[in-house]
Amino acid sequence: MATSSTPPPLPLMRIMSGNAFLLSILYLLVGIGVEAARRLRPSSFVMRLSLSLDSLPARALELVGLMEPLREAYFAGRITEAVLRLVFSTTTIGIIFLLAVGVGLLMGSLRGFLLRQAARRSSSR
């Protein structure tokens, strides 16, 4: 009975989605903590931290052309701060998932390439 020397394939999508889920939960918990601190004990540090957390989704929304309409709706009173926070959180979670998929695909491709190289070297001996 011949045994295969290649390792079994990794459940890449399961690993990527698990990592993205954990990072999303961590982001949301930090965001909730910062928002609570901003409302209960505002300080310059907490305000800077809040702006830092908001900069990633704001820039992503700016890139796709949605930040200006969102800004106008907020200042006109058509949406509340809670809705704005929800949009920012959803945007950040989307970014985290896209990054996890991108990094996972890159690492999976690299792993496949290295396995093919190793198989070629062992078959040429």
Res. 2: pLDDT tops 60? no
Q: What's the rounded mean pLDDT across residues 59-77?
A: 95
Contact at 8 Å (CB) between 68 and 3?
no
Quote the tokens at residue 79: 């949406």
pLDDT on residue 100? 83
pLDDT tens column, 19-52: 788 888 888 888 889 989 999 999 999 999 988 8
Structure tokens at 122: 């062992």
Gap between the Cα atoms of 58 and 48, Å rounded: 15
Listed in sequence order, the DSSP H helices in the chain are 12-40, 44-63, 67-75, 81-123
What pLDDT score does 69 carry?
A: 95
What is the DSSP secondary structure assignment for residue 41, as one 8-state letter?
A: S
pTM for this model (two decimals): 0.71
